[in-house]
Amino acid sequence: MDLYVVLGLPHEATESDIKRAYRRLARRFHPDINPGDRAAELRFRQILDAYETLMDPERRSRYDSGGSAVSDRRPSGFEGFDFSAHGLDPSATFGDLFADVLMDRGTGRLAPERGADLHQDIVLPFEEALSGATRALTVTRRESCRACAGSGQTRATAGTCVECEGSGAVRSVRGHMVFSRNCPSCLGSGQPRPRPCAPCGGLGQETRTEPVEVRIPPGVASGDRLRVAGKGNAGARGGVPGDLYVSVHVSPHPVFRREGDDLHVVVPVAIHEAALGARIDVETPEGAAKLRVPPGTQSGQRFRLRDRGAVSSRGGRRGDLIVEIRLMLPHVLDERSKELLREFGRINGESVREQR
């Protein structure tokens, strides 16, 4: 018997390869998965012998050098005990399994596990990020199996366990000592043990694609992450589902620029408006607003319109609209305008340079 062939591995297999192969085969041929199947029990013993030999560097070296393929294990005086390790990692070694004799096995079932979280990205126009919106996303997620209602098992057949005759316990004698433990076939229930659900392979889950409605609060910004509770993958063995996290990316706006909850906008102003003062229209997310430009306003000067910015997605006060003034030179089309500008320069040219 070639131990590498038993595990389906090449002779140069690594320790990680051996562990993975053992886990895969143990889940398939374990006696608890195949109660009463003697062929599966024999196959599992071969798999366990191969695993224990190849995972021990000294024993593997002897085997690779032409040693016997038979396991080195010696009788321990515990023949007849069940070392199947209910509730433990399927890759447990002999030492791990021995602890099962001393523990309260209870139901022997693995504990429920929380489902994995899912992640998606969403791109929003600038206006929808400010005002809020609702979007329907298509999510492919693991959901509870409809065949077994997420339990991962089929219903047990009526009757009593054949191995323990309905008592839920089996007894063994070693010398003057009598040992009693839960029946490995029915796990102490006294009734036939449920079988793994065939459609979901005992996981209690199946893959489904469904629409999920995501409510986007007003004021959401690029980099924000929204949580939709319970819309991740279903939990294993009846565990609570994970969540869906939606990462937001906001498209840039041709006019407004956002910094925190404040919005910034650049407004062109004519020379005479900046020099003499004026009331001008300024675009805001809700429409036009009036801004008073005082006499002598310089290019680059900023004014603040309170509560005209973005709504904070975390609640609290609203941001402001920061208006930056940019002086714009007129397109001179006639001689009269040119003459006026020359006269303005003769009167104010020196004073402008003195202000520097």
- Tell me what pLDDT residue 292 has: 96
Instruction: Judge whether 21 and 7 are in contact, CB under 8 Å.
Output: yes
Architecture of domain 118-152+201-250: Sandwich (2.60)
| 118-152+201-250 and 257-354: identical CATH topology | yes
- pLDDT by 10s per residue, the chain, length 356: 688 888 888 888 899 889 988 888 888 888 877 777 787 788 888 899 999 999 998 888 888 887 655 444 443 333 333 333 333 343 343 333 333 333 334 444 567 778 889 999 999 999 999 999 999 999 998 888 877 877 777 766 667 887 787 777 877 777 667 677 888 777 777 777 777 787 777 767 788 899 999 999 999 999 999 999 999 988 876 778 899 999 999 999 999 999 999 999 999 999 889 999 999 999 999 889 999 999 999 999 999 999 999 998 777 689 999 999 999 987 777 888 888 888 888 887 665 555 55
| Yes or no: domain 3-101 corresponds to CATH 1.10.287.110 | yes
- Tell me what pLDDT residue 89 has: 40
pTM: predicted TM-score of the whole model, two decimal places: 0.54
- Tell me what pLDDT residue 185 has: 72
Architecture of domain 257-354: Sandwich (2.60)
Kindly list the domain boundaries of the chain, sorted by start residue: 3-101, 118-152+201-250, 156-193, 257-354
